[in-house]
């Protein structure tokens, strides 16, 4: 039961409880696109929170829907299918432009690898979330917040005078749980403003929904590696299909990603390995132009058994 989305993506009807956060890793792509239906005065942020999606990814997948005034009974695409980032599948990967975390827990001998994924908020353009490798150095339940003087000055300029220490509680911007990273001053934490998840609203830290950070706090051990990457384009190969997932790049990276078609074809070529690649150029251009955060089939990948062979684009 379901509907069809252009570019060959299958949809399934789903309730919030049926959309998983954790998946078995059997290919480069996990999850599936789902459909939800608005009830009463549901808004896009309401549905995003119910399905553990971020605001931006829900807006990109539903550009025709008014985020605040959707009519009752409106079908909403839940973009709960993901091409995995290219970083090593060990510990936490934060794909900054995607505004999403991927957590690969240690796999027990004989067990299948799994990945859990959660939407996040990231730093505003003037307070960018960093890129690079680090680790989880500590975990804190009910953290207090000591805002830096720069943040206190910024708030004061808007008439909001922050104390030197914000005590734990419902008004604490860090929420109920925090993971401190080896990059000084940066945390993965909860929030007192859950409807901001999936937006550029932080001072560089990564915020999660309250229910998601509680799960991350419980499952991620101290010492876990963390890689913060910048991958607006992600490519995966599964069942002899090439999938491309495109997110808008960050505004400060306009020069870096000024030639998206060249970058995407280079990325596909680098992922070819033992495959002969045949691209559907119309589908590829559509996926790049849409930048809707949804994996789209853009070509075929036929195995010829010769590792390292070049792609035929």
CATH number for the domain spanning 21: value is 3.10.350.10
Query: Mind giving me the DSSP string for 278-300?
Result: EE-HHHHHHHHHH--S--EEEEE
Domain boundary among 83, 105, 130: 83
Residues 244 and 211 in one domain: no
58 and 109 belong to one structural domain: no
Q: Specify if 239 maps to a domain.
A: yes
Q: Does residue 310 fall inside a structural domain?
A: no
pLDDT-based confidence at 263, cuts 50/70/90?
very high
What is the pLDDT of the chain when averaged over all its residues? 88
121 plus 237 within the same structural domain? no
If asked whether residues 158 and 109 sit together in one domain, one would say yes
CB 252 within 8 A of CB 125: yes
Which of 177, 209, 229 finishes a domain? 229
Q: Which residue has the higher pLDDT, 92 or 308?
A: 92
Asked whether residue 112 falls in the same domain as residue 45, the answer is: no
Write out the H or E segment, with its range, that includes residue 252.
none
Q: What is the pLDDT of residues 107-135, one digit of tens each?
A: 988 899 999 999 999 998 778 899 999 99
Q: Is residue 309 part of a domain?
A: no
Residue 13: its pLDDT value, please? 57
SS (H, E, C) 157-211: HCCCCCCCCECCCCCCCCCCEEEEECCCCCEEECCCCHHHCCCEEECCCEECCHH
The verdict on 28 and 125 lying in the same domain is: no
Task: Give me the domain span that covers residue 192.
Answer: 91-229
CB atoms within 10 A of CB 104: 21
The DSSP output letter for 258 is: S
Structure confidence at residue 148 as a pLDDT band (50, 70, 90): low
156 and 59 assigned to the same domain: no
- Cβ proximity of 211 and 159 under 8 Å: no
Number of domains in the chain: 3
**How high is the pLDDT of residue 18?**
58
Arithmetic mean of pLDDT, 49-60: 94
User: Is 155 part of a structural domain of the chain?
Assistant: yes
Place of tokens 């220490």: 165
The answer to whether residues 120 and 223 belong to one domain is yes
Structure tokens at 179: 């993971």
Which of 20-29, 111-120, 136-145, 160-169 comes out lowest in average pLDDT?
A: 160-169
% of the chain surpassing 90 pLDDT = 68
Q: Which pLDDT belongs to residue 305?
A: 60
How many CA atoms lie less than 13 Å away from 134 in the CB half-sphere? Answer: 19
Domain match, 36 and 68 both: yes
Higher pLDDT pick, 105 / 304? 105
> What per-residue confidence (pLDDT) applies to 273?
81
Average pLDDT over residues 16-22: 71
Q: Are residues 128 and 142 in the same domain?
A: yes
In the chain, pLDDT over 70 holds for what percent of residues? 88
206 belongs to a structural domain: yes
Q: Are 25 and 130 part of one and the same domain?
A: no
CB of 177 closer than 8 Å to CB of 213: yes
CATH classification at residue 208: 2.40.440.10
Are residues 190 and 285 located together in one domain of the fold?
A: no
Which of 229, 257, 292 delimits the end of a domain? 229
Which residues are designated catalytic? 189, 205
Q: How far is CA 146 from CA 135, 160, 185, in A?
A: 21, 15, 10
């Amino acid at each position: 039961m379901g509907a069809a989305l252009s570019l060959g993506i299958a949809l399934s009807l789903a309730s919030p409880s049926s959309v998983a956060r954790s998946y078995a890793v059997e290919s480069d792509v996990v999850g599936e696109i789902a459909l939800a239906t608005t009830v009463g005065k549901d808004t896009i942020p309401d549905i995003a929170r119910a399905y553990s999606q971020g605001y931006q990814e829900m807006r990109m997948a539903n550009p025709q829907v008014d985020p605040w005034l959707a009519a009752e009974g409106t079908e909403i695409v839940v973009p709960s299918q993901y091409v995995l980032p290219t970083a090593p599948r060990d510990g936490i990967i934060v794909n900054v432009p995607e505004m999403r975390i991927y957590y690969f827990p240690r796999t027990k001998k004989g067990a299948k690898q799994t990945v859990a994924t959660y939407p996040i908020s990231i730093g505003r353009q003037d307070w960018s979330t960093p890129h690079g490798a680090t680790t989880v150095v500590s975990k804190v339940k009910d953290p207090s917040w000591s805002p830096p003087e720069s943040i206190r000055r910024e708030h004061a300029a808007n008439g909001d005078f922050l104390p030197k220490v914000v005590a734990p509680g419902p008004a604490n911007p860090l929420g109920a749980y925090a993971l401190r990273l080896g990059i000084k001053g940066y945390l993965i934490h909860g929030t007192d403003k859950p409807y901001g998840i999936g937006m550029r609203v932080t001072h560089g830290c990564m915020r999660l929904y309250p229910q998601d950070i509680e799960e991350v706090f419980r499952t991620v051990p101290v010492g876990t590696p963390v890689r913060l990457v910048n991958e607006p384009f992600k490519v995966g190969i599964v069942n002899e299909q090439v999938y491309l997932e495109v997110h808008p790049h960050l505004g400060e990276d306009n020069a870096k990603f000024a030639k998206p078609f060249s970058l995407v074809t280079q990325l596909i070529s680098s992922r070819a390995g033992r495959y002969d690649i045949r691209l559907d150029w119309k589908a590829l251009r559509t996926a790049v132009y849409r930048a809707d955060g949804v994996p789209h089939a853009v070509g075929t990948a036929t195995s010829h058994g010769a590792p390292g062979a070049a792609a035929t684009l």
